[in-house]
């Protein structure tokens, strides 16, 4: 997963007409580390459909405040710079739940007009 370290890099990453999912994490979050072993497989599974990026919430606090990132890990899907859907809760996220979110992100993107 490519890591974004500046506001500008984030804004550029989410501008495309493809689906971009940004995962907001921190180094100290146990639930963030829990997803690390299976996320490369999930990325590969959705290759060609979704681009994945990671942001450390502690490195970009102003951006995360602007995006109202409260819980971590948080998943937000974007297309054309606009938020499509987000997956945030206080519980540990399983691979199945993350895949359900990604499937839903694809459905939402498909339902909206391109451009």
Looking at the domain covering 2-109, what would its CATH class be? alpha beta
Note whether 13 and 50 are within 8 A (CB). no
pLDDT in tens, 14-41: 999 999 999 999 999 999 999 999 999 9
Question: Are the C-beta atoms of residues 51 and 18 closer than 8 Å to each other?
Answer: yes
Q: Please report which confidence band the pLDDT of residue 2 belongs to, taking 50, 70 and 90 as the band edges.
A: very high
Reading the block at residue 23, the tokens are 């995962």
Residues 6+ apart with CB under 8 A from 70: 88
Reported as a single tens digit per residue, the pLDDT across 42-65 is 999 999 999 999 999 999 999 999
Dist. CA 86–CA 21, nearest whole Å: 9
88 Cβ contact partners less than 8 Å away, ≥ 6 residues apart: 69, 70, 71, 74, 75
Residue-wise pLDDT tens digits, 64-113 = 999 999 889 999 999 999 999 999 987 889 999 999 999 999 999 999 88
Residue 12 and residue 18: Cα distance in Å, rounded?
12
Instruction: Flag whether pLDDT at 114 surpasses 80.
Output: no
* Residue linked to tokens 């890099």: 9
∠ CA(21), CA(65), CA(56), 5° rounding?
50
Spans of all domains in the chain = 2-109
Tokens 């146990």 — which residue?
A: 30
The two three-digit tokens of residue 94, written as one number: 């399983």
Q: What is the pTM of this model?
A: 0.94
Residue 115 scores a pLDDT above 80: no
């Amino acid at each position: 997963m490519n890591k974004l370290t500046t506001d500008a890099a984030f804004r550029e990453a989410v501008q495309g007409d493809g689906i971009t999912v940004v995962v907001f994490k921190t180094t100290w979050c146990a639930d963030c580390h829990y997803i690390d072993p299976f996320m490369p497989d999930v990325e590969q599974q959705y290759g060609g459909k979704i681009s994945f990026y990671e942001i450390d919430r502690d490195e970009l606090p102003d951006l995360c405040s602007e995006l109202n990132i409260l819980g971590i890990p948080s998943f937000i899907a974007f297309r054309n710079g606009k938020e499509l859907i987000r997956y945030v809760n206080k519980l540990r996220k399983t691979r199945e739940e993350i895949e359900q979110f990604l499937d839903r992100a694809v459905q939402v993107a498909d339902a909206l007009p391109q451009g």
